[in-house]
Chain A
């Protein structure tokens, strides 16, 4: 909970529902990373997490994308509104 400007990266699965973030880094295998990028979910894309815990729905560029928890764990995002700033 230090400085909101340099807020650390979170895996997408830990982003709280309703908040926005930006994709910074993709982990996992090459094929997975490529698929995610090709779906328009690559680095520096803005995402909004809509809902979900075990399976996750998020909004990317006007479409809803559903991911399993394991997939969401591979996508590192920087929250646009860190939880500390009310």
Chain B
């Protein structure tokens, strides 16, 4: 049983939840209070980011602080909002304690809208501290927020703040340190039309779902507006009895023509209106939004908007492919040096090979993408913190709606050019579950940076050295990216018409005002992402690297003269031969098959796998020996293996096939079943196979 914190004073570390609308300054405040004492992870079962930190009270007592995902309402529309709702209602006690106290953060320049969520939270009857943030913006808009008056009317501490400059932090800390936070007086009359229903549902929640009375009332009110009943994994379901009562009332109201949700939302806004009238003075000064409007006139313009977006995307890709080059070389040199060091220090044997060829080479091969991922997140962080990202989604909506998606799918798809994993994680803000699933299903078509080394190798192998103009190489590269992108949109279109049929959602979103980006926050976000990525490299990828190493090493043969022969009769080699009949129509032999299979660890492993298979001494930074070996490679009957056509077909295969175990694991976690990741393996790889078959057979017939 959760008692208010003041009852069990000192016995347990108090738990605070930070709640507010998106962009109200929650994270800024959370970071300022907890500093680096944060733990970032996921809510089990859903890929919603879970941020928990520790702050210290005036007396040095530790306090747990949870930064909940931004929400406009407790009636959840996206998995993000569902987590916020469920944590507050104590429906996720398996992974997250029900917070004892709640800190509500509101944007002072837009009090009315922000107070809607606060109004719902006050229903919970738990101690609340209200932080009126963005006081500077409120001032600029000519609004005088009388926090003293608000405090009196609500009966809770109200703190004026400007989180970006650290104003109000001390006051908030003081309030959070109080052992005796008052409960809000929140006498609010539920509209007569629905009050008896609320009472009945409340009673049932108390009796059948064992909810404490105040939570039961809040939940009863919520159930009336929680229209799609979004449940996310890890949240406890409603009892049958309560669900039946709720359905009964809804049926009755539908017959009578009562708009219960409208009545309830309206009643809340009426109460808020009265409150705001008492507590906020507006001067006649008109809101100065001319700068924001001037920028918007350009970036949402029918032509210039696309030009700006195109320019930013070009800058993003140029940075990913040029700026990252040096740090990537350093990482590469570092892993090679480390492996050499280990080789020199350890006696030769299987264990040494496991460390150098399995662990160091495998993890290093993935770590190499860290610079690119950091650059991507730098761009995304900057675009988000300036407020531009919402505009990008806004103009992309026109394009996305053609294939039945909305603008919110843009960010996940963009991120997927670096890596599908952050891209798939970014789908959590998409409200419509079908749209979210479609976005997840097509995101891996966007050419991630792990495919880049394969494209580079194949382009080099495809075009004889020397006289190739740069334009041809770049052209081929762009063609690969374009194919993936067109594939993603095409399949999204197809899925929205067949498998996941649904009306295109009606897009409605807030455009936050333009702000100067805070480099510190962006840097912190980059550090967070890098941390998550490293953790992944240290766990899943480490494990896969070891397994792959074992598959290419065992069973040992006594008479293998060189590594190539060893690989040929290893488990991986056997698997390659096993799939040869399937891939031979595409022009691939079993040696390429080994590369394809090892690509399941990470696609770029293809390069190191082929080096092993063709018995090339791996030479840092220099693919020339490998290229020679590829040109020398033949089928048993003496035909050249890597003809230009085969190289091209192989590239196309990499564009479309689903070959990434880490992505599959994330999709499984995200969709909570193996059904969708398996479907992805099937349809993506099937499509890749079919397309490659057509290309190779047509190409051969035409004499290439």
Interface residues of A (CB under 8 A from B): 28, 30-43, 50-52, 54-55, 57, 59, 61-68, 70-71, 74
When the two chains form the complex, which single residue of B112, B227, B398 contacts A30, counting CB atoms closer than 8 Å? B227
Contacts of B390 in A (CB 8 A): 66
Is residue B509 contacting chain A, with contact meaning CB distance below 8 A?
Answer: yes
Contacts of A39 in B (CB 8 A): 72, 113, 508, 510
With A35-B77, A68-B506, A71-B506 already in contact, the answer to whether A54 and B398 are too (CB < 8 A) is yes
Nearest-neighbour CB distance to chain B for A25, whole angstroms, equals: 11
When the two chains form the complex, which single residue of A32, A40, A65 contacts B511, counting CB atoms closer than 8 Å? A65
The main secondary structure of chain A at its interface with chain B is mixed
- Contact at A61–B261, with CB atoms within 8 Å? no
- Contact at A68–B227, with CB atoms within 8 Å? no
Complex Cα distance, B225 from A36, in Å, reads 13
* Nearest B residue (CB) for A60: B113
Complex Cα distance, B228 from A32, in Å, reads 11
Complex Cα distance, B579 from A62, in Å, reads 62
Contacts of A30 in B (CB 8 A): 227, 261
- Contact at A42–B300, with CB atoms within 8 Å? no
Contacts of A50 in B (CB 8 A): 293, 296
Q: Mark B218-237, 1 if CB is under 8 A from A, else 0.
A: 00000001011000000000
Is residue B265 contacting chain A, with contact meaning CB distance below 8 A?
Answer: yes
When the two chains form the complex, which single residue of A61, A66, A70, A74 contacts B110, counting CB atoms closer than 8 Å? A61
Within 8 A of A (CB), among B491-529: 504, 506-513
Complex Cα distance, B394 from A48, in Å, reads 18
* Nearest A residue (CB) for B120: A38
Q: Mark B68-91, 1 if CB is under 8 A from A, else 0.
A: 000011010100000000000000
Nearest-neighbour CB distance to chain A for B82, whole angstroms, equals: 14
* Nearest B residue (CB) for A33: B262
Contacts of B147 in A (CB 8 A): none
Complex Cα distance, B297 from A35, in Å, reads 26
When the two chains form the complex, which single residue of B261, B262, B395 contacts A55, counting CB atoms closer than 8 Å? B395
With A54-B398, A61-B113, A67-B507 already in contact, the answer to whether A40 and B261 are too (CB < 8 A) is no
Is residue B406 contacting chain A, with contact meaning CB distance below 8 A?
Answer: yes
- Contact at B141–A62, with CB atoms within 8 Å? yes
Contacts of B510 in A (CB 8 A): 39, 63-66
- Contact at A37–B113, with CB atoms within 8 Å? no
Q: Mark B31-53, 1 if CB is under 8 A from A, else 0.
A: 00000000000000000000000
Contacts of A35 in B (CB 8 A): 77, 508
Contacts of B506 in A (CB 8 A): 28, 32, 67-68, 70-71, 74
Complex Cα distance, B504 from A28, in Å, reads 13
Complex Cα distance, B510 from A39, in Å, reads 9
- Contact at B507–A71, with CB atoms within 8 Å? yes
Is residue B401 contacting chain A, with contact meaning CB distance below 8 A?
Answer: yes
* Nearest B residue (CB) for A61: B112
The 6 nearest A-B residue pairs measured at CB: A71-B506, A40-B113, A64-B511, A68-B507, A37-B265, A38-B73
Is residue B698 contacting chain A, with contact meaning CB distance below 8 A?
Answer: no
Contacts of A33 in B (CB 8 A): 261-262
Contacts of A36 in B (CB 8 A): 508
Is residue B397 contacting chain A, with contact meaning CB distance below 8 A?
Answer: yes
* Nearest A residue (CB) for B431: A35
Task: Specify which of B227, B292, B504 lies most central, judged by the most chain A CB atoms within 10 Å of its CB.
Answer: B227
* Nearest A residue (CB) for B509: A66
With A55-B300, A65-B510, A71-B506 already in contact, the answer to whether A37 and B398 are too (CB < 8 A) is no
Complex Cα distance, B112 from A62, in Å, reads 9
Contacts of A42 in B (CB 8 A): 262, 265-266, 269
When the two chains form the complex, which single residue of A40, A51, A65, A67 contacts B269, counting CB atoms closer than 8 Å? A40
**A-B pairs with beta carbons under 8 Å apart, 27 shown:** A30-B227, A30-B261, A31-B77, A37-B265, A38-B75, A38-B116, A41-B508, A51-B300, A55-B395, A61-B110, A61-B112, A62-B110, A62-B141, A62-B287, A64-B289, A64-B296, A64-B511, A64-B513, A65-B509, A66-B508, A66-B509, A67-B507, A68-B397, A68-B506, A71-B506, A71-B507, A71-B508
Nearest-neighbour CB distance to chain B for A42, whole angstroms, equals: 6
Task: Specify which of B296, B406, B512 lies most central, judged by the most chain A CB atoms within 10 Å of its CB.
Answer: B296
Complex Cα distance, B73 from A38, in Å, reads 7
* Nearest B residue (CB) for A73: B506
- Contact at B265–A57, with CB atoms within 8 Å? no
